[in-house]
Amino acid sequence: MKKFLTLVMVGGMFLTTSAQSFDKKIEKLATKFEKDAIELRHWFHQNAELSNREFKTSERIAATLKEIGLEPQTGIAKTGVVAVLKGGKPGPVVGLRADIDGLPVKERVDLPWASKQMGEYNGEEVPVMHACGHDTHIGVLLGVAKMLYEMRDEIPGTVKFIFQPAEEGAPAGEEGGAKLMVKEGVLKNPDVDAIFGLHISSDTQVGRIETRPRGLLAAVNSFRIDIKGVQSHGSAPWSGIDPIVTASQMVNSIQTIVSRSIKLTDAAAVVTVGAIHSGVRSNIIPESAYMLGTIRTLDADHRTTVHKRLREIVQNIAEANNAEATVSIDEGYPVTFNDPSLFDQMIPTLDRISGNKVDLVPAITGAEDFSFYQEQVPGLFFFIGGCPEGSDPKKAAPHHTPDFYVDDSGMILGMKAMTALTLDYLSSK
């Protein structure tokens, strides 16, 4: 017997009767659970915790999942939480991910639920704030869990909710984040077929979605350059080897890597030196210096070229100054890469659920460890707006700053989008 789908034109696209039915329920359930998601967001914001130290956060997530009716697994990748929802019908497995850690930033936003938390970072006591919106991501995904649980009998497949710690990077000497979750088997048992993730954006208008196929966010690597010279009196520089002069020459030459070794018409790249440390007095040429920096690339070959040229430049300039130098580059994160086939399949869902408010944006030189999941299975990552109606997105405080703010009203679109992506993907198989 042949099966025929009834198609209806909605917003310039054909929509199955099944999807129409889901959309009505999604709208109703998102409205029902929006307040819950916002209240949870406020609690997580007020109780912000640093990477790999999200103990209260993890406890509250697990407790909420139990209240919903799910059986959460805790202690994954240190403080991660995972729950599986089996639908009433057989089908594929979708992963939905939210990151849960805060940042060592002191909040300046005047909110009744502002963070006053403290934590330890690099051996120092620091204020802690959700300065990148991860609190909204948790609230959104818990809202989605509530929505999908109510629809569980109609779900043709399985949903895995992944609450991931340490997206901002594990403390020194520790593993963490998406890489550790993958290593510990978060995409297995049941095996995830596709994964979806979102990020709220302070300079995107509430109600809009931003994304792009292929490379959306850059690969990132941190580097450290250590320079060893010979200490001498500042009045007699010829009697020593100056690591500060050597470092200065390196900084200037490092800037030529992108301008002279990278084909920028293919993809952007950035090499930034963010810190130089050396010396204690005006009249002492110190023995050593070190520099810290970041590399951002949107192309795998560019990444290889930048690493190679960085090492060459540092070694050659050190030799020219009779100094010694070493370069260490961490493993970093790969490119956040939206699988083209999955993107083409799911972009109509985002367009439909947002009311034709999806913007295809240029690649961004920020980074996201969602990329580790995308190395293993097809994944789609997108941004939702957090800039409140009536505000100028151009004046929004950037992420990772004390004045960072995203509005609660942006969360409902995230709930609807993640739910619709899940149901549409599962229904298409």
Q: Quick check: helix, strand or coil at residue 324?
A: strand
Active-site residue flag, 351:
no
SS3 263: coil
Residue 247 CB partners (closer than 8 Å, separation 6+): 225, 227, 276, 278, 289, 291
DSSP assignments along 110-150, one per residue: --TT---EEEEETTEEEEEB--SSHHHHHHHHHHHHHHHHH
Largest CA distance in the chain: 94
In angstroms, rounded to a whole number, what is the distance separating the alpha carbons of residues 113 and 128?
A: 13
Q: Which of 60, 57, 59, 49 lies closest to 105, judged by CA?
A: 49
Please identify which residue in the block is written with the tokens 């995409």.
Answer: 187
- 167 a catalytic residue: yes
Query: Do residues 233 and 334 make contact, with C-beta atoms less than 8 angstroms apart?
Result: no
**Of the listed 34, 54, 99, 101, which one is catalytic?**
101
Closest CA to 375 of 329, 343, 421, 338: 338
For 214, the 3-state DSSP assignment is: strand
CA torsion angle 402 407 412 416 (round to 10): -50
Q: Which of 269, 268, 49 is nearest to 168 (CA)?
A: 49
Tally of residues, the chain: 429
Q: Which of 23, 49, 54, 167 is catalytic?
A: 167
Instruction: Give dist(CA 380, CA 110) in Å, integer.
Output: 34
CA geometry: angle 396, 398, 402, nearest 5 deg: 100
CA-to-CA distance for 79 and 144, rounded, in angstroms? 21
What phi and psi values does residue 415 have, to the nearest 5 degrees?
Answer: -65, -45
Whether residue 194 contacts residue 374, with contact meaning beta carbons closer than 8 Å, is answered with: no
Distance, CA of 260 to CA of 367 (rounded, Å): 24
Q: Is the dihedral of CA 416, 419, 425, 429 positive or negative?
A: negative
List, by residue number, the catalytic residues.
101, 167
